[in-house]
Amino acid sequence: MRKKKVQHIIENAFVSGFAAEGNAIIKQEEKVIFVPKVAPGDVIDALVYKQKHSFCLAKSLQIKTFSDKRVQVKCPHFENCGGCSWQMLDYEWQKNYKQQQVIDNLERIGGISCENISNIEGSDNIYYYRNKLEFTFSARAWKKDFVKGEKDEPALGFHISGLFDKVLNIEHCVLQADVSNQIRNFLRTYTIENDIPYYNIREHSGLMRNLIIRNTQREDLMVVVVFAYKDMVTIEKVMQALKEKFPQITSLQYCINTKMNDSLSDQEFVVFYGKDHIMEYMPCFEEEKLLQFKIRPKTFYQTNAPQALKLYSFAAKFADIQQEDIVYDLYTGTGTIANFVANKAKKVVGIEYVEDAVEDAKINSKENSIDNTVFYAGDMAKVLNEDFIQANSQPNIIITDPPRSGMAEAVIKQILNTQARRIVYISCNPATQARDLKLLSPKYKVTKIQPVDMFPHTHHIENIAVLDKITED
């Protein structure tokens, strides 16, 4: 019989640093122990609950000595909510560890020298910086002191990590403007007082399913309520209550999602009040002109708008686009980068998998009187082929901003074949970026690295790598 490994406690363990996914590490003999929500420099008692050959997973039971890198947390839900796992860490140290994360991944996975890395660009706002949050209704609230057999209570907030059916009630979130807290708390009170049932993911019952709140720098406000089935009498009551309580809402919409999952990309949204969109504005690169972007429920837009401007400005500056250049913007989304740099290029060609996003990109070009962009929808690995390049001209510059999984090898092969003189690679995952940079290394050399912090209090980091074509002697 296989011997069951017993949980055990490690006392007075020193937390030495951070590793992948924002977990802190304790080094003990030949094993590394991963612990969340503690800071380097802490001395803790840790409960090891899972053991592997070369590492262990643990949770902190008690902090014996607090690190000098710690600060007072602002969020009342920090201990239980899995969102801002680094909020206890001084922001300067957050930036240091994120920069090191980029270096470690590029050097270890990509074999890339980071001697030319620039200092990380921090966020001016580290609280209330998000322009989009999604909340979940659940018939089963998570409670720290929950007793088995106790009656479930409803909750509106964020999912508890590792528990698909439990949601933490959120009273105050420090990530989005306070109107977001007001709307969420009002809707929870109204629905509970009116006995409107919350969604039970185990039984697939209950009406109230999700709440999405989006806002812009000019205080446009979009509220989307997702219902689990069609009950127009109750839906009308809920939406009317929101309209009357928050007349400043620019776009009030709902959708009815009867599926087993929460994906909304294939859903129809109904405008209950106001417009079908909100507007965000961004200065055009090196021009006084303001670009405007329509944001609809399905539209992707960077959730930290001021940092997005910094990110795109770095990318455009590094690209060094000349007036006769053909620019390919891969994974263009709603064409934000394409439209941002269009004034510098002869032509910008955007490719994106999501058809709705491509339609938004076309609309954004039209709204901004930009006539030198073209956009195509489809699987990047299939669209970007020799016929496509011949039809749209050989690119001089490629800007690519793929999803966390990085680029498919077929896409990298086509990029290598284009012979573009420069590639600007934007990534939200330095590990997959490093892998791709290594695959590009036979023809391209990394000449500049610029991390940008889009998400304070989390371990996530955006990184820009500039690659120049290696010239033959």
In the beta sheet, which residues pair with residue 387? none
Rounded-to-integer distance, Cα 426 and Cα 317, Å: 13
Query: CA angle 178-210-204, nearest 5°?
Result: 155
Q: Within a 10 A sphere around the Cβ of 43, how many other Cβ atoms?
A: 17
Question: Taking phi first (over 0 means left), then psi (-120 to 50 degrees means alpha), and beta for anything else, what does residue 260 get?
Answer: alpha
Kindly report the three-state secondary structure assignment for every residue of 260-279.
CCCCCCCCCCEEEEECCCEE
Give residue for tokens 């793929």: 402
381: helix, strand or coil: helix
CA-CA distance, 36 to 55, in Å (whole number)?
14
DSSP, res 2: P
Contact by Cβ (8 Å): 376, 387: no
- Percent helix, percent strand, percent coil in the chain, to nearest 5: 25, 30, 45
**Residue 425: which of 384, 461, 466 has the closest Cα?**
466
- Give the type of residue at 52: K
H or E stretch covering 358: helix 355-367
Helices (H), 144-302: 179-193, 232-245
Q: In the sheet where 31-35 sits, what is the strand order?
A: 8-14, 43-51, 55-65, 31-35, 24-28, 17-18
Taking each helix axis as running N to C, give the angle between helix 232-245 and helix 179-193, from 0 to 180 degrees, rounded to the nearest 10.
140
Residue 45's identity, in one-letter code, is D
Core vs surface per residue 123-136: b (16+ CB within 10 A) or e: beebbebbbbbebb
Annotate 360-380 with three-state secondary structure.
HHHHHHHHCCCCCEEEEECCH
Instruction: Select from 38, 148, 145, 78 the least CA-distant residue to 47.
Output: 38
Q: Which of 81, 114, 255, 428 is catalytic?
A: 428
DSSP assignment, residue 357? H
Please confirm, yes or no, whether 284 is among the known catalytic residues.
no
CA dist 416 to 262, 319, 410, Å?
38, 17, 10
How many whole angstroms separate alpha carbon 450 and alpha carbon 360?
29
Q: Which residues are annotated as catalytic? A: 428
